[in-house]
């Protein structure tokens, strides 16, 4: 949707986009260390470690952080729906 001013666009980002961005950043932060293929350098030329899928377990702290990210995404959806209706 077009915004009347830059300030209005920034305010809309702070209402919705910040919650969504936070949720996606949390999801990336939690899942990145759980990668199946691990390299010691970037870009990867060879894989130093190959993990099995059943070895990927989330610790309790990680589960809590994932729930917080999900809650942030849910809050963004509710706020976005509320502002679109209102």
pLDDT tens, position by position, 36-68: 888 888 888 888 888 888 878 888 999 999 999
**Is residue 13 within 8 Å of residue 26, measured between CB atoms?**
no
Give me 58's structure tokens.
């989330």
Residues 9-23 have pLDDT tens digits of 888 888 888 888 888
Tell me the CA end-to-end span of the chain in Å, nearest whole number: 15
Give me 83's structure tokens.
């502002």
Q: Is the pLDDT of residue 28 over 60?
A: yes
Give me 1's structure tokens.
């949707």
Determine the Cα–Cα distance for residues 50 and 1; give it in Å rounded to an integer. 45
Q: Is the pLDDT of residue 30 over 70?
A: yes
- Sequence spans of domains, the chain: 6-85
Query: Among the residues of the chain, which ranges form H helices?
Result: 6-12, 18-31, 60-85
Task: Please give the model's pTM, rounded to 2 decimal places.
Answer: 0.65
């Amino acid at each position: 949707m077009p915004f009347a001013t830059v300030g209005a666009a920034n305010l809309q980002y702070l209402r919705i986009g910040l919650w969504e961005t936070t949720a996606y950043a949390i999801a990336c932060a939690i899942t990145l260390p759980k990668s199946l293929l691990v390299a010691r350098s970037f870009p990867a030329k060879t894989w130093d470690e190959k993990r099995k899928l059943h070895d990927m377990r989330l610790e309790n702290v990680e589960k809590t952080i994932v729930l917080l990210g999900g809650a942030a995404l849910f809050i963004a959806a509710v706020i976005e729906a509320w502002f679109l209706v209102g």
